[in-house]
A and B are shown apart, each in its own frame.
Chain A
Amino acid sequence: MGELTITHFLVLGALLFSVGVLCVTLRRNAIGVLIGIEIMLNACNINLVAFSRYTGDIDGAVYAVFVVMLAAAEAAVALAIVLHIFHHAASISVDDYTEMKG
């Protein structure tokens, strides 16, 4: 086992992001989609913190805190939207909601 380097963190971030993307695109459940978004945001946070540690600058960590706060707000708004959709269409499957069809 070698020393833990920034590469490991970046790979972890990338893998997490990919998982998030797949979750967003493949899940039909709106809650699942929101979870995927949270995963992607946290993948970004890992990168931010990793780079902050790597450069010895505090800015990245500060951004990460902001992102966490933003994620909380976003989750609140998004869950409200999902609730509204559920009332409207009696379903939380994103495939049932195709109002934007051309």
Chain B
Amino acid sequence: METGPLLAVVCLFMPMLSALLIAVLGGRMPKICDLIGIGTMGVSLLCAIVLGLGHATYGAQTWEFTWITMDVGWVTSEPLSWTLGITVDGLTTALLLVVTLVSFLVHLFSKGYMHGDDRYVDFYRWLGLFTFSMLGLILSDNLLTLFVFWEVMGLASYKLIGHYFFKQSAFMACKKAFMTTRVGDIGMFLALLAIYLYTDSLQFKEIFANLDMIPVGAQFWIAMGLFMGAAGKSAQFPLHIWLPDAMEGPTPVSALIHAATMVAAGVYLVGRMYTLIVLSPGALVIISIIGCFTALMAASIAFTRTDIKQVLAYSTVSQLGFMFTALGVGSNIAWKAGLFHLATHAMFKACLFLGSGSVIHGCHHLQDMTKMGGLRKKMPITAMTYLVACLAIAGFPFTAGFWSKDMILQALWAGNGHFDDVYKIIYVVLALAAAMTAAYMFRSYFLTFEGKPRDQHVHDHAHESPWTMTTGLIVLATMAIAAGYKWHDALLPNSPGGLEGVLSPIATFAKTFVIHGEGNEVAHHAHTIALYTSLTVAFGGMILAGVWYMTAFGVGLRQKMRAMIGPLYGWASGKFFIDEFVQMVFINTSIFFAELTSWIDSALLDGFVDGTGSVTMKTGAASGVADDAIVDGAVTLAGNSAWWGGALLGRFQSGRIRNYLFGAVASVALFAVVMLYIVAR
């Protein structure tokens, strides 16, 4: 085996080892399970870093093994074999780094945050399994194992969201997350079947080599099926409803699963299957529209949330919308922009979530921002890192989020030659969503850390978190800036060749996805416009939030603006009633059908079965009566008649010898008379 795949395999199986070791040892030695988790994740992270540094050497290696060989002699003379394997390329390396880094820091963070939890051991075990499945998903070189890991991840996510399962809301949330993603998985599974049907393989390289075997009509539906699965996992409208509820899980879980890794799986799937998806411009534009709509909708809901984690949850939904909007363009730069934003978003959103976890921990499990305020002095490290991550997500210049968001806007403006007008509209809407992002993120920062304490009690008891928690914050805050430079040649933002630099593992993987030729001039033009737009929206949003929450007339201004937009605020506050709609239309309908079938079952089928039973019972009773009356009667009668006969005949046994003798003589006399009569005749 080559060095690259070997490192990848070690990286993949370390979290599995962690889960197994904790499962075996956890019961006896609950104290060391966190060390097992952190240690194994550290090894994984090291492997990923070595892979990343040596990317030029290890790039694009695959390691395959034959999983199963079937003799199908009646079809072809060659035995059919299934080859599974892992692949190490630029995209894999980049995501391995992201996942192992966030997972390692979350393991470390949890040591402080989950301290004293009753189900501490279980928590680490599922964390290990989750990381294993996420890494497996990234490393899979075929859709089959990808789908398996995809589902295992759903299970791990279910267990982690439901960590506090004794709470009704957490229990409902994990069920909702599982069921909602399952809806998307149906589409993905159908797409997998269709791909296998047409190309006879689920391996990426085989699929991409046989793309011309997929008919044009099927390309659209396969792309939509894959996107449906991705939308379920990555919380896109209308399957986004599970993610805000999933905040019921512990905060480190929110950081790992619902910010950095699992929700990224959908984006990764679309990115991985991009060669197939770009074949259908119709599917692309639908992906873009849905992503853009999700981004705007979730951003507007985020304004109305007062729970700090809820703001971050809707922000995640919104940012994932950004990624899909970018991927929906279908050009080379759009592909890079989407996945680049995935990587940078993972860094600053994990930082924000862990920051919120630190705040919640410091405020003794308080999540309501309206009771916070002025916490910066109490928790300086948390406040600083949160501010850096806020700047990154808002798109402040020279942070990671600035580069990736700028690239997305640039890709949108350039378009792909089809539906360019639509992409221009999307560009405007997405710019608005970006401005809103900056505003609501700074709203959360100002409400939490700045201003005067709104609840003196909470403020007095707030404290900075231990080093296990702040380490992760500092590393991630650094990455929230540095991530932009790792994948992006920041020194030459306007240079057409800058993005193709060898610094980017993604760039080396890049293929030509362009549907329509994209000249350098267009790209350059797009870049200039996108740069101005992203700067405008970032500063606009931040200034707006500052005016709203940090100035004297901010309160009045907020009320005036609320009145101006009319019922919109109420709608956003009610999350646009999508949950209610789903409840009413889908869930109630399902419940109605469930009750209907239950009624059919109990009334008709049970009635039939019960009827059969009661007929049998009645028949039995009747035959019992017949048995008693007729058969028993006959037997008794036989006995009785013998008895009666004996009694009757016993009368003749008088015991008087005279009588017997008389009988004998009388019989002889009678006999004689009869004989005489016969003889005389």
- The chain B residue sitting closest to A99, CB to CB, is B655
Is there contact, CB below 8 Å, between B665 and A101?
no
Supplied contacts A24-B661, A99-B655, 12 more A-B pairs, CB within 8 Å = A25-B658, A25-B662, A25-B665, A26-B658, A28-B658, A94-B656, A94-B658, A97-B655, A98-B655, A100-B655, A100-B657, A102-B650
Residue B680 CB within 8 A of the other chain: no
Interface residues on A, range: 10 to 19
Residue A21 CB within 8 A of the other chain: yes
Is there contact, CB below 8 Å, between B655 and A21?
no
- The chain B residue sitting closest to A28, CB to CB, is B658
Interface residues on B, range: 10 to 19
Q: List 23 A-B contacts (CB under 8 A).
A: A21-B665, A24-B658, A24-B661, A25-B658, A25-B662, A25-B665, A26-B658, A28-B658, A94-B656, A94-B657, A94-B658, A95-B656, A98-B654, A98-B655, A100-B653, A100-B655, A100-B657, A101-B654, A101-B655, A102-B649, A102-B652, A102-B654, A102-B655
Q: A18 to B652: give the CA distance in the assembly, Å.
A: 25
Q: A36 to B617: give the CA distance in the assembly, Å.
A: 75
Residues facing A in B180-208 (CB within 8 A) are none
The 3 closest A-B pairs by CB, nearest first: A102-B653, A101-B655, A98-B655
Chain B residues whose C-beta falls within 8 Å of the C-beta of A98 in the assembled complex:
654-656
Q: A102 to B650: give the CA distance in the assembly, Å.
A: 5
Chain A residues whose C-beta falls within 8 Å of the C-beta of B656 in the assembled complex:
94-95, 98
Q: A21 to B665: give the CA distance in the assembly, Å.
A: 8
Q: A45 to B432: give the CA distance in the assembly, Å.
A: 156
Chain B residues whose C-beta falls within 8 Å of the C-beta of A28 in the assembled complex:
658
Q: Mark A80-102, 1 if CB is under 8 A from B, else 0.
A: 00000000000000110111111
- The chain A residue sitting closest to B649, CB to CB, is A102
Q: A21 to B669: give the CA distance in the assembly, Å.
A: 12
Q: Mark B643-681, 1 if CB is under 8 A from A, else 0.
A: 000000110111111100110010000000000000000
Q: A99 to B657: give the CA distance in the assembly, Å.
A: 10
Q: A23 to B14: give the CA distance in the assembly, Å.
A: 128
Chain B residues whose C-beta falls within 8 Å of the C-beta of A102 in the assembled complex:
649-650, 652-655
Residues facing B in A54-102 (CB within 8 A) are 94-95, 97-102
Q: A26 to B661: give the CA distance in the assembly, Å.
A: 10
Interchain nearest-CB distance for B671 vs A (Å):
15
- The chain A residue sitting closest to B646, CB to CB, is A102
- The chain A residue sitting closest to B662, CB to CB, is A25
Chain A residues whose C-beta falls within 8 Å of the C-beta of B654 in the assembled complex:
98, 101-102
Interchain nearest-CB distance for B27 vs A (Å):
88
Interchain nearest-CB distance for A35 vs B (Å):
14
Q: A97 to B662: give the CA distance in the assembly, Å.
A: 17
- The chain B residue sitting closest to A36, CB to CB, is B661
Chain A residues whose C-beta falls within 8 Å of the C-beta of B653 in the assembled complex:
100-102
- The chain B residue sitting closest to A25, CB to CB, is B662
Chain A residues whose C-beta falls within 8 Å of the C-beta of B650 in the assembled complex:
102
Interchain nearest-CB distance for A74 vs B (Å):
16
Chain A residues whose C-beta falls within 8 Å of the C-beta of B658 in the assembled complex:
24-26, 28, 94-95
Interchain nearest-CB distance for B274 vs A (Å):
114
- The chain A residue sitting closest to B669, CB to CB, is A21
Q: A98 to B655: give the CA distance in the assembly, Å.
A: 4
Interchain nearest-CB distance for B270 vs A (Å):
110
Residues facing B in A1-31 (CB within 8 A) are 21, 24-26, 28
Q: A100 to B656: give the CA distance in the assembly, Å.
A: 7
Q: A99 to B656: give the CA distance in the assembly, Å.
A: 8
